[in-house]
Amino acid sequence: MDNHNNIQQKKEKLLFCGMALAALGLVAASPTTASAKTTAPAQTTEQTTADKGNADTNKDKPIVRDWNGLKVTYDQKTHELTIPEGTIAAPDGADPTPISAIDINSKDTNSNEIHSINFKGKLTIKGSASGLFSNLPKLEKIDLTNVDTSSVTNMDLLFAFCSGLREIDGLTDTANVTSMGATFYGCSSLTRIDLSHFNTSKVTCMISMFNGCSSLTKLNLSNFDTSAVDMMDYMFTGDKSLTSLDIGKFKLGSPYGVGKAITMSNILEGLDGLTNFTFNVNDDLNKTGFNTKAIWQEVGTGTPEKPAGKDKLSTSQLLAKYPVDIKQNDDINKVADKTVTYVKVAEDHSSVTPSSPSTPTVTAPVTNNNTVTKPTTPSTPKPIERPVYRTVMHNTYVYNQNGALKNGEYFAGQSIATYGTKIIDGKKYYALGDNSFVKANNISGIKRRLTHNAYLYNAKGKRANRKVLKKHKSVVTYGGSVKIHGKRFYIVGKNRYVKKANF
């Protein structure tokens, strides 16, 4: 039973953070109904001119829409969205509606055309802010000075896919945030982020936090407290313009040889522009995907301009040198906090070419013999559109096009790239490429109707809150039922379960 509880607790944590990448799929898959084109019957010149005049008049009229309980206004000429004073509080266990999902319902524009956001009065956000400002490719800057984030607990995907975003100001209160997965994912035009006021003491997930921020040249992480973080995979992957990085306080290793388990796959992959690198001497860089091609020299008692280290090391030699071996007479406390800085002093002209991923990678499935393969993006023959990223809500096997089992399994919380759907033996599957499929029921779920009033429970089998789901309500469940403390439950959300007997 203890082993079962440990598995459930790990699933709970994976679900909480993994939902971040699921939202990427939701964003990417959102239909852009405003841009749909229809064929109209032939019109006379007078009709066309009249319609054009009406269109010009319509553009003078702002569009008002409901958004998370507020009336927001969109100016079709300036492409500015105005958000009034108010409070956004998504229901417990749910995420708010992102701005990109607002149905502007205009022939000539859609929410992807938003260039600026004006907060007219104080906006308070409570609970989850996951994906709130995501997928706005033409948004160039955002000032959150009028936004109160003191009660926000989830900032997953907050600005994901804002590829035109160059500046973010006013994001200062993060004291209660527990997850920052993919917060700035794919913000490829972002040149600076003020992180000086970030409080990350409660954050457990930083997966892909800055992944794909290819225009960032520096990050000040001096205020970052990563003591609670246990998932950092792909955190800086593909940040090819980053010249200086100090992760000395991250402590990705332990002088005792054991410590908190931190996942950090590919966290440092594709940092091709890095010239100044500070880390802890106990960090196991071999687990980070660090592959910047350079010749390095330790600064030591010198300066970055005139390093004093005696050795000049290639990246592979640097990986072999750390973590350091602890000697019997070493002061553990001093070794635990010891950092070292290396600077790039020359090009490495060896034949190996560094890898600079331009887009975040996706966790690969775990094979049945419990070995983990290197994370890769599933290949598929000439995909027409970009993949939709989804989070596995219930452990799922991998199948071929005939519905036969293949070697491999995805676990709850893992993110997968999907390329459309396929019906196999009457059941819906998501295609992964390479003749691999997973059951859609384990990803997007199915609706079931409650036959009794029901409470929500967490992965430990304890009541999550006082909320009651009423009889006859339709609830989305994921996969088959799971057993918690001898009772059967359906997964209905991240760390949320409903007793099977209530359906």
DSSP code string of 55-115: HHHHHTSPEEEEETTEEEEEETTTTEEEEEEEEEEPPTT--PPPGGG-----SS--GGG--
- Whose tokens are 């992180």? That residue is 195
pLDDT (0 to 100) of residue 86: 96
Residue 116 lies in a domain: yes
Do 469 and 351 lie in a common domain? no
Do 194 and 154 lie in a common domain? yes
Helix (H, G, I), strand (E, B) or coil at 252: coil
Q: Given a cut of 50, is residue 374 above it in pLDDT?
A: no
Do 73 and 182 lie in a common domain? yes
Q: Tell me the C-alpha distance between 229 and 265, whole Å.
A: 14
Number of domains the chain is built from: 4
Confidence tier at 392 by pLDDT (50, 70, 90) = confident
Residue 43 lies in a domain: no
Element of type H or E holding 408: strand 405-410
Percent of the chain with pLDDT over 90: 43
Do 257 and 147 lie in a common domain? no
Tens digit of pLDDT for each residue in 427-459? 899 888 778 899 988 888 888 999 999 999 888
Q: Given a cut of 60, is residue 404 above it in pLDDT?
A: yes
Amino acid type, 124 = T
Contact between 178 and 204 (Cβ < 8 Å): yes
Tens digit of pLDDT for each residue in 190-208? 998 889 889 999 999 999 9
Is the pTM above the cut of 0.85?
no
- Strand-pairing partners, residue 119, are 83
Q: Given a cut of 80, is residue 302 above it in pLDDT?
A: yes
Do 371 and 408 lie in a common domain? yes
> In a 10 Å sphere around its CB, with 0-12 CB exposed, 13-18 middle and 19+ buried, how is residue 112 labelled?
middle
| CA–CA–CA angle 101, 105, 106 (5° rounding) | 125
Tens digit of pLDDT for each residue in 449-486? 999 999 998 888 888 888 889 998 988 888 888 888 88
Q: Which domain holds residue 74?
A: 16-28+54-211
Do 367 and 346 lie in a common domain? no
Preceding omega of 323 cis (within 30 degrees of 0): yes
CB-facing half-sphere around the CA of 80: CA atoms within 13 A: 11
Helix (H, G, I), strand (E, B) or coil at 422: strand
Distant-in-sequence, close-in-space partners of 451: CB < 8 Å, separation ≥ 6 = 471, 472, 502, 503
Q: What share of the chain is helix, strand, coil (3-state, %, to 5)?
A: 15, 30, 55
Do 250 and 304 lie in a common domain? yes
Last residue of a domain, one of 437, 464, 487: 437
Do 466 and 398 lie in a common domain? no
Do 345 and 391 lie in a common domain? no
Residue 9: φ, ψ to 5°: -65, -40
